[in-house]
Amino acid sequence: MSVKATNYWDYIKVEEILSLQGGLENDEKSLSNEEHLFIVVHQVFELWFRMIIRELVTVRNLLEQNPVPEQEISLAVHSIERVEEILKLASDHFRIIETMTTRDYLEFRDKLSPASGFQSAQMREIEIILGLEDSERLPFGGPNGWKNALKFKDGSNSKAYARVMERLNDMPTVREVVENWLERTPIHGSSHGDEGDEQVVQEFLDAYMMGHEKSVEKQLQLAKDRGDSEEEIAGLVKRFDSQLNQARDYMQGKDSRQRRIRAAAIFIASYRELPLLAWPRRLIDSVLSMEQAMIIFRQRHARMVERVIGRRVGTGGSAGVSYLDETAKKYRVFKDLWAVRTLLLEVNALPKVQKPEFYGFATKTD
């Protein structure tokens, strides 16, 4: 039996891809190089978005397991790190768009209106699978503005709209599975649901809080020793008080589930040398790095936009750069994990870990 030799062009679908840059006219030759670039760059982004969505679904599915098999955490980290790399690379693609001058862009900008990246369904899918909630979105175009932007002018549904609706039904999100997994993380060897677990968690948090109070006392003493004025000390006391109050509020959480999740995030980051916590720590770090790359992606897009169109209104009708800067500031999914960075204590101030042998740490316990 003869086997058909595979061609590069058949496998990669090169001709099909090369037939998609004709713009609204469906005629590539009639486009300027600038407009051609504009289309190509957007298409490249959409392809990367597609890959990101696949990886995030993989991460979600891996972490949705209960329990997550220890060796599979590394697979989730692998996918998250890939998403981070893609986002970094995609941020760099904005450099290519910046070779286009404002005048060049204005040549064809009017015909885009009211089309805009605001209608990128895949961008919305990424936000949804990560766990950005409706209530966390900026109210541009009304409470459902972002969804309505995905419909045709006459209000009928588009494929983009259907894609997003499908994703909204594809739950849970990465944030939820990370939180569920954190909720199950043993603290001082005590697991969620164990008898007395809530007390173990509370004692851990209380001891941690005491570490904070001591650390503040130490820093105030240092300020006094170096001769800071009374006014400066009073200012410091005020700032530290507010920091301590924030730490208390964070550790209290809104209920016992949130308290346990937060305690686990602090525990993992604090006792990073415990062998059993090595992969959990990498998972948390990779989630943060990924979100950092996403925030930088948003900021980078905003700076590119500012350079190309200044501060004028966007084709999608938003305030333009200021709207984009707001998204970079407010669209944060893993807020709890970021908050831990403010709370971590230096090693010497950490409460002593109980049952270290539980985490595979082969030292004598007292």
Give contact residues for ligand HEM (rule: CB under 6 A): 41-42, 45, 97, 105, 116-118, 120, 123, 301, 305, 308-309, 314-318, 320, 323-324, 327
Closer residue to ligand HEM, CB minimum distance, 105 or 338: 105
Contact call for residues 293 and 364 (beta carbons, < 8 A): no
Buried b (16+ CB within 10 A) or exposed e, 60-88: bebbeeeebeeeebeebbebbbbbbebbb
- Contact partners, residue 57, CB within 8 Å, separation at least 6: 129, 170
Closer residue to ligand HEM, CB minimum distance, 44 or 278: 44
Closer residue to ligand HEM, CB minimum distance, 136 or 232: 136
Map residue 355 onto helix, strand or coil.
Answer: coil
- The candidate with the shortest Cα–Cα distance to 297, out of 141, 150, 139, 123, is 123
- The candidate with the shortest Cα–Cα distance to 185, out of 102, 263, 73, is 263
Q: How far is the CB of 160 from ligand HEM (least distance, A)?
A: 12
Three-state SS annotation for 173-232: CHHHHHHHHHHHCCECCECCCCCCHHHHHHHHHHHHHHHHHHHHHHHHHHHHHCCCCHHH
Closer residue to ligand HEM, CB minimum distance, 145 or 189: 145
Q: How far is the CB of 146 from ligand HEM (least distance, A)?
A: 7
- Contact partners, residue 316, CB within 8 Å, separation at least 6: 114, 115, 116, 117, 118, 119, 149
Closer residue to ligand HEM, CB minimum distance, 307 or 355: 307
Closer residue to ligand HEM, CB minimum distance, 72 or 306: 306
Q: How far is the CB of 313 from ligand HEM (least distance, A)?
A: 7
- Contact partners, residue 187, CB within 8 Å, separation at least 6: 197, 200, 201, 204, 260, 263, 264, 267
Rg (CA), the chain: 25
Report d(CA 366, CA 354) in Å as an integer. 9
Report d(CA 93, CA 97) in Å as an integer. 7
CB atoms within 10 A of CB 52: 25
Q: How far is the CB of 253 from ligand HEM (least distance, A)?
A: 29
Q: How far is the CB of 76 from ligand HEM (least distance, A)?
A: 25
Q: How far is the CB of 333 from ligand HEM (least distance, A)?
A: 13
Q: How far is the CB of 308 from ligand HEM (least distance, A)?
A: 4
Question: 157 pairs with which residues across the strands?
Answer: 151
Contact call for residues 333 and 132 (beta carbons, < 8 A): yes
The tokens describing 260, both together, are: 């346990």
Q: How far is the CB of 245 from ligand HEM (least distance, A)?
A: 33
Q: How far is the CB of 323 from ligand HEM (least distance, A)?
A: 5
Closer residue to ligand HEM, CB minimum distance, 118 or 334: 118
Closer residue to ligand HEM, CB minimum distance, 211 or 314: 314
- The candidate with the shortest Cα–Cα distance to 281, out of 348, 208, 337, 332, is 337
Closer residue to ligand HEM, CB minimum distance, 23 or 314: 314
